[in-house]
Amino acid sequence: MPNTAVWTLRETLIVAVLGAVFGVLYLGWVQVWLILQAIFGAVTMDVVMGFWFIVSIIAAAIIRKPGVALVSEVLAAAVQILLGSPAGLLLLVTGLVQGAGAEAVFAATRYRRWTLPVLMAAGVGAAVASFAYTWVRFDYGSLAPGLLILMFVLRCASGALLGGLLGHLIVKALYKTGVLSGLAIERDLRTAHG
């Protein structure tokens, strides 16, 4: 049985590349959010938030080792900072919080379950962690209870769909290309079907 604690060089490079790619995509997603916010208003952030969790889900579903969700999300945040995100160093905290929320769900399964419901739950985990963080950072306690509930539900749904479901679909598409051969995901799927 392979060691689940130690990352190989290939796994480390994959996490780094995914962090870099999604760091760029996350910056682009900010523009999508700003356009939608101008049209639909404040709760748009919660509707689109799930996409900012996706790298933790994709990387973890591919590598299937402890720490992958957390590290990939922090790397994506670091790339955004390097590319000049106006959010600055606070993005590292955001990446840490979101990655930890997803990581907690994978840890709860002892890094053994990678089904669609688990990936969607990881998206919700990231959403809950990010909601707690933004509650403190932006003083959500001063908002109306009805608005808070709406924001929370929308963010959790976004985490499940844009983080978990979309992440699952991307991983499936990557798997079909053969680029994931020799990684934990291929070994697990081969064992499950063999």
Determine the structural domain holding residue 122 and report its residue range: 9-185
Cβ atoms of 85 and 98 closer than 8 Å: no
**What confidence tens digit (pLDDT) does each residue in 63-76 have?**
999 999 999 999 99
Domain presence at residue 52: yes
Alpha carbon distances (Å) from 135 to 58, 143, 149, 154: 26, 10, 12, 15
Asked if the structure places residue 18 within a domain, the reply is: yes
In whole angstroms, how far apart are CA 136 and each of 129, 131, 141, 162, 191? 11, 9, 8, 24, 44
Question: pLDDT tier at 4 (50, 70, 90 boundaries)?
Answer: low
CA–centroid distance for 167 within its chain = 8
Residue 3 lies in a domain: no
**25 assigned to some structural domain:** yes
pLDDT of 42 higher than 90: no
Residue type, 150: L
Task: Tell me the pLDDT tens digit for each residue of 118-176.
Answer: 999 999 999 999 999 999 999 999 999 999 999 999 999 999 999 999 999 999 999 99
Q: Is the Cα dihedral 64, 176, 22, 183 positive or negative?
A: positive
Euclidean distance between CA atoms 166 and 70, whole angstroms: 18
pTM for the model: 0.94
> Structural domain tally of the chain?
1
CA 89 to mean position of chain CA atoms: 19
The answer to whether position 193 is within a domain reads no
Per the domain annotation, does 2 fall within a domain? Answer: no
Label residue 193 by pLDDT band (50, 70, 90): low
Q: Residue 2 pLDDT more than 50?
A: no
In a domain, 130, yes or no: yes
Residue 56's CATH number: 1.10.1760
